[in-house]
Chains A and B, each alone.
Chain A
């Protein structure tokens, strides 16, 4: 039996304080000074920001195959802690999510976890090998209802393969999410190619390796009349290409990760592999261009690229370390720090970039909806005044590879509601 919950005095999307009444799985009413129904739980939310439950287009849950770094359960618990009510689970698991069977398994594990909806992403090619198209239609028609396809971690670099994939998913309005990385230009690459890589003697990862693939793919998408989504866009040049493609009216969307909005390749000087990530941390010029592009809508959304790794995969020399960072539990704080506290985006903008638009790109029903009567009660409450150093030991994620360890960030998710049920209460898992 679901009882009623009254969220009292929350700043809805950062606006004037209002009360929000949740009944069962839905929002029943939004307004000032709503009466407290009998038996309703009251959440005092004065000073807190109420957002629609966040939606992540890019999460690595690692299950099946690498349960030592994350499972669907631990990953969705981390997502709830971060204010997410839905995550897209990337396909690079073991086995690869390239069949209806694997995506249904992941989808079911998500349902069972109860903390956050898990929407599987299907692989574009069999085994992420770039040679043979995976059964995109079967994955779409499965219980998982896959709409987003990606070989993330590996670029679909064959132009014909990319063209076919883009064309094929038109049949069911799917989208190809491209990991843009020209493989030959990034052989042995370890970090952004530039001043710092030259000094550190680490193999350079040129911006052009990302930009050239994005340029090709937006042209391909335009040519075949399909839509393409660019994963973790990381350079100022990529922004320019996407901006140009959008000006043409082409169906191109893009995401940026929280870490690319904040961190630069200067951090690599420590040789600490916690800063090793794909695509690599870029320069301050890139960071500023990405923030501006997220603010003006050139970049549609923030996606975490949450990439858990066990300690031993980062506790080693740089070249031997795995690429990636955990991000679910710090994403909203980083966005507040880089976009809201800097005046680039208001809270309605955050709701747009972290909930509404990712849900639209993923064609995800029930999420990314307005906070209004009759809508699903997927909600996130945030205390924007809270400030504390990040302590990965406190994470719900099974992995601790956070680049923000010890860094003071603003904002704390106090409550997350998944279809009316609290998954996080007072910052702790319910």
Chain B
């Protein structure tokens, strides 16, 4: 593991599985009377949010608190940031406050990368979503959710599991994952394509051509414009949020047409394989990319994804902060059997 989590492209298969397996252990904490571990006692985690995202922020906050870290929320709204303080000055402030980790959400692609590489601060940087670049913890929680549902069978075949711990130690080899919607503007899609590919899944992106980036051909995935052709061959279908404002920039003609061609409704869902699941990173536009009956169906993992988000973020924080502060190298993870007694 590197010292920062900026992009899922930085994760090897072993790194990714380690995070997911660690998250399975973290998930058990949620079932205990005392949902807290002493592991990060005395460590300070700063949630640095230049963009409003209450859901992501509280997920990180809950994760840090369950690990006993001190959490400081630094929101751009009403702070000196909105008065024109530069990213650099903000970082220097956090450095002076002794932040061991900075969870950063920023509207500019690459801002977390700059924080991690510019020498402005020493702590670990965790990307909580940057512009239209990446959102690695979202992809990890998506993969975690998929693995529980799809990687549990003894023969490795897809089955409809819902048991915690299912799939531990496994990847997503051969699972067919379809990601539908505004790929062009989606950091979730970018992180998922990289991570799912690393984990052995076959990813297909489905979108109107206007909402796919030029250069998508070099991504490790398939691309289709035809949702109906892909649906029956999907183990999981992930619907991306499509902002209605995109319509004004001529990315698609009308909501109705978008919904008809690229939305997931009950009829389309019925043509998915028996075991297949429906995912959405939220927040949803019900009636736009996903119909209400699909969102609320037994196939939907949308609520589960939120719960899994806390476990995955605990795992990431533990693996980045749980040990000594290390130079920015791929430090080996010590095995449990090598401990002193």
Contact = CB atoms under 8 A, between A and B. Distances in A.
Is there any pair of Cβ atoms, one from A and one from B, under 8 angstroms apart in the complex? yes
B280 interface: no
B251 interface: no
Interface string B67-92: 00000000000000000001110000
Interface stretch (A137-145, A223-231, A311-319): A311-319
Nearest to B190: A201
Contacts of A206: 214
A190 B133 CA distance: 13
Contact of B88 (A194, A195, A203, A315): A315
Interface string A167-185: 0000000000000000000
A195 B214 CA distance: 7
A18 B102 CA distance: 64
Interface in A241-297: 270-272
Given A316-B86, A320-B108, A201 B114 contact: no
Contact of B187 (A196, A201, A271, A312): A201
A199 interface: yes
B259 interface: no
Interface string A15-38: 000000000000000000000000
B132 A201 contact: yes
B214 A193 contact: yes
A110 to B, nearest CB: 34
Contact of A196 (B88, B215, B219): B215
Nearest to A268: B110
A198 B219 contact: yes
B113 interface: yes
B98 interface: no
Contacts of B114: 271-272, 316-318
Contacts of A315: 86, 88, 118
A316 B130 CA distance: 14
B117 interface: yes
A197 interface: yes
A202 interface: yes
B106 interface: yes
Nearest to B194: A199
Interface residues of B, number: 28
A237 to B, nearest CB: 14
Contacts of A197: 213-215
A308 interface: no
Contact of A201 (B88, B118, B134, B214): B134
A202 B110 contact: yes
Contacts of B195: none
B106 A317 contact: yes
A204 interface: yes
A316 B214 CA distance: 27
Interface string A314-355: 011111100000000000000000000000000000000000
Contact of B87 (A202, A204, A270, A317): A317
B329 interface: no
Interface of B: 9, 86-88, 106-111, 113-114, 117-118, 130-134, 187, 190, 213-219
Given A198-B214, A199-B215, A270-B113, 10 more contacts: A193-B214, A315-B118, A316-B88, A317-B114, A318-B108, A318-B111, A319-B108, A319-B111, A319-B131, A320-B108
